[in-house]
């Protein structure tokens, strides 16, 4: 209650001094969540069109090696044979995905050592792939649990010391904001709230597990109360949820309705496709009787999501980060559509 009163008084103070309350994102950015760095013409066009000055790049993962019984960096970003350097004015935010099993199996005595390995790997990747780009922030991506919280927070503290003067950022899930007292607040400088993958992929509680504004609404009121500065990440992707005999088998990335072969299946409702003839789609073999539920993000959906989020930001500056920059982005969003979400007149 005290915090709410303080926020209210600050808002009144800004208004009385003639300071407008910010009602739009300050700027836009992207996640680059790929295994190779190519920086294609399409990716360059979106980055330039949105005047991106900071790019969140997946550098590598941290996972548990069962054979060697050790936690190690794996699957590092590689340079494509044909690639273009990122413009030197664009800062890189190395983003490191850490599995819960890695944290769970990490001995307390090895936390500082792992922080050192992670920082060394980040610096090596930056020298090899982004030698001309500023590195002002490092981000950790981990959906920590009650079981792994203390170890993960210890890793955050250890890495935060290593990377100075750079800042440490971390991804924050909606449930970690709403139930912050239970899940804890990570020892970081700032966070990115991941406003996607909000529902169950089996469709049991939503028709769009990528982004459901009704589900988002149930979490949104806690955003303004979170004690750490939060940027906002929204989805710019699609997928097909492949079900076989009522069980979710896998996700087919970037699939949209236009990708479906009408001679090999049929739409049985607005978003579900029934396979009539076996064939391959998005690298997966489909059998007769399989069902694919198409889920995607759309400009209208992001508009509704922002209208839910913006009042909770209470005039605070934040970056809108799109997850993610990929070759099929043009199927869903034009450059102008994504620019529009930073335009107050269009929200």
What pLDDT, in 10s, does the model give residues 178-216? 999 999 999 999 999 999 999 999 999 999 999 999 999
Q: Per the omega criterion (within 30 degrees of 0), is the bond before 165 cis?
A: yes
Residues 6+ apart with CB under 8 A from 10: none
pTM: 0.91
Torsion on CA atoms 122, 124, 129, 133, rounded to nearest 10 = 70
Write down all domains in the chain, each with its CATH number in brackets. 21-237+297-346 (3.20.20.80), 243-286 (no CATH)
What pLDDT, in 10s, does the model give residues 258-294? 999 999 999 999 999 999 999 999 999 999 999 999 9
Q: What is the pLDDT of residue 24?
A: 87
Q: What is the pLDDT of residue 215?
A: 96
CB 143 within 8 A of CB 191: no
Per-residue pLDDT band at 346 (split at 50, 70, 90): low
User: Measured between alpha carbons, how far is 83 from 298 in angstroms, rounded to an integer?
Assistant: 29
Share of the chain above pLDDT 90, in %: 88
User: Measured between alpha carbons, how far is 34 from 120 in angstroms, rounded to an integer?
Assistant: 21
**Which of 216, 191, 192, 178 is CA-nearest to residue 302?**
216
Q: Give yes or no for residue 23 having a pLDDT over 90.
A: no
């Amino acid at each position: 209650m005290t915090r709410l009163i303080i926020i209210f008084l600050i808002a009144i103070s800004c208004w009385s001094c003639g300071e407008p309350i910010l009602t739009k994102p300050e700027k836009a950015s992207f996640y680059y969540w790929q295994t190779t760095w190519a920086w294609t013409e399409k990716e360059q066009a979106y980055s330039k069109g949105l005047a991106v000055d900071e790019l969140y790049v997946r550098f590598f993962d941290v996972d548990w090696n069962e054979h060697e019984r050790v936690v190690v960096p794996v699957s590092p970003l590689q340079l494509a044979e044909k690639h273009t350097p990122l413009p030197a004015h664009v800062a890189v935010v190395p983003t490191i995905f850490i599995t819960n099993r890695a944290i769970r199996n990490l001995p307390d005595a090895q936390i500082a050592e792992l922080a050192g390995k992670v920082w060394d790997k980040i610096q090596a990747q930056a020298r090899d792939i982004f030698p001309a780009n500023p590195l002002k922030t490092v981000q950790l991506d981990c959906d920590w649990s009650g079981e792994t919280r203390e170890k993960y927070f210890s890793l955050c503290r250890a890495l935060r010391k290593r990377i100075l003067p750079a800042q440490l950022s971390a991804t924050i899930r909606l449930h970690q904001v709403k139930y912050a007292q239970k899940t804890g607040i990570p020892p970081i400088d700032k966070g990115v709230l991941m406003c996607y993958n909000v529902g169950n992929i089996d469709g049991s509680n939503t028709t769009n597990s990528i982004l459901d504004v009704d589900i988002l609404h149930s979490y949104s009121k806690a955003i303004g109360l979170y004690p750490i500065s939060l940027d906002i990440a929204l989805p710019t992707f699609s997928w097909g949820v492949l079900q076989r005999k009522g069980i979710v088998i896998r996700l087919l990335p970037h699939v949209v309705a236009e990708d479906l072969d009408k001679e090999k299946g049929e739409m049985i409702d607005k978003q579900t496709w029934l396979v009539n003839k076996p064939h391959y789609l998005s690298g997966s073999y489909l059998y007769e009787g399989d069902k694919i539920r198409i889920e995607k993000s759309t400009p209208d959906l992001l508009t509704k999501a922002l209208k839910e989020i913006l009042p909770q930001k209470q005039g605070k500056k934040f970056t809108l980060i799109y997850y993610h920059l990929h070759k099929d982005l043009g199927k869903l969003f034009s450059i102008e559509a994504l620019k529009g979400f930073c335009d107050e007149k269009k929200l």
